[in-house]
Structure 1
Amino acid sequence: MKQIILMRHGKSSWDYDVSDKDRPLKERGINDAHMVAKTFGLHAPAIDFIYSSPANRALHTSMIFMRNLEFDLSKYKVTNALYDFSGNSVEQFVKKLDNSLATVAIFGHNYAFTSLANTWGDQYIENVPTAGLVHITFGVDEWSKILEGTTKQMVFPKHLKK
């Protein structure tokens, strides 16, 4: 069985005159990432590896997630393939993952993550929000064979706020 955890970066700031890759998280994005990571961590499967887009907002979100889960940084890598908004590059990246990895978390962007959550999962999601997490399981043993899976869990900040 293969499991993918898709997590969209937290809310980013447009207050700075920087490139898209350099945009930082807003305070809300930081807080939401902590909240989602802590909630997911209560029932999280063992994660074999984590990959992140090189964009600052995705990197920061992944660091918050890993710190909350006390994740081993030696099982973390940044890859340009996840700086993708269509989902094509992310899908190709996932399908080429090493089959020794059973559970992988990836940090990236929309529209890619909403599209893939709907392609791979069995629950329609209008929009994966910032700091939103979607956990999907697949009944296959090879990443190249993932097609239709089961949406096991969705953790969105708005569902956690009182």
Structure 2
Amino acid sequence: METKSIYIVRHAKAEDHSLSKRDFNRDLINKGKERAHRIATELAPLVTVNEKTLVISSPANRAIQTAEIFCSILGYPAEKIQMEINIYEAHYLDILRVINNLTGSYESIWVFGHNPGLSDLTNYLCDSQVDLLTANVAIIGLENEVDFASLAGSTGNLKTVLDGQ
């Protein structure tokens, strides 16, 4: 029986790379905001957000802006989003370390960040072959004996990937 869930969310569509703005400061474009809103709205009736929910985000503009859109629709207080620099442009094992080090009795965690780290993490945890596009959400279930501290390769069950199509 699955008792815990992880929602891996790649940031929504952002401004193109440019020499005039650091990658970290790139903002969402309108198309990205609309898609994030649509996917979060589709997801809202399927999830429970409560005191046993934790949202963690890369502090890069595009990731935190995506997290804020999802949180506003899901009913999670934006001021409770934990920003974690170790998710920004991170290798999947660095993101996993962030999850493994969580303290608290959470039933679901949401991780907002970037590729390729998020797709690689999903594939590592679930023995899958997904490539998360912008604003996609991979929903991973964990069996009873697996908690966030013991999460490792092949311990997750990929339930679905929401792509807003």
Same fold (TM over 0.5): yes
Q: What is the CA distance between 1:97 and its match in structure 2?
A: 1.1
Matches within 5 A, 1:48-63: 48-63=53-68
CA RMSD of aligned residues (A): 1.7
**Which one of 83, 88, 94 corresponds to residue 78 of structure 1?**
83
**Which one of 61, 68, 71 corresponds to residue 73 of structure 2?**
68
**Which one of 10, 20, 24 corresponds to residue 21 of structure 1?**
24
Which letter maps to 2:75? E
Q: 2:150 aligned with 1:145, yes or no?
A: yes
C-alpha distance after superposition, 1:12-60 (max 9, x if no partner): 1127521011001111111110011001112113351101101000010
Q: What is the CA distance between 1:145 and its match in structure 2?
A: 1.3
**SS of the counterpart of 2:35?**
helix
Give the unaligned 5+ runs of structure 2. Answer: none
Matches within 5 A, 1:27-42: 27-42=30-45
Which letter maps to 1:143? F
Structure 1 stretch displaced more, 29-38 or 40-49: 40-49
1:119 aligns to what?
Answer: 124
Q: What is the CA distance between 1:72 and its match in structure 2?
A: 2.4
Q: Is the 8 A contact 2:58 2:84 kept in 1?
A: yes
1:130 aligns to what?
Answer: 134
> TM-score normalized by structure 1?
0.89
Q: Distance in 1 between matches of 2:105 and 2:146?
A: 9
Structure 1 stretch displaced more, 7-16 or 127-136: 7-16
Q: Distance in 2 between matches of 1:3 and 1:99?
A: 14
Task: Point out 4+ residue stretches in structure 1 off by more than 4 angstroms.
Answer: none
Percent of aligned positions with the same letter in both sequences?
Answer: 25
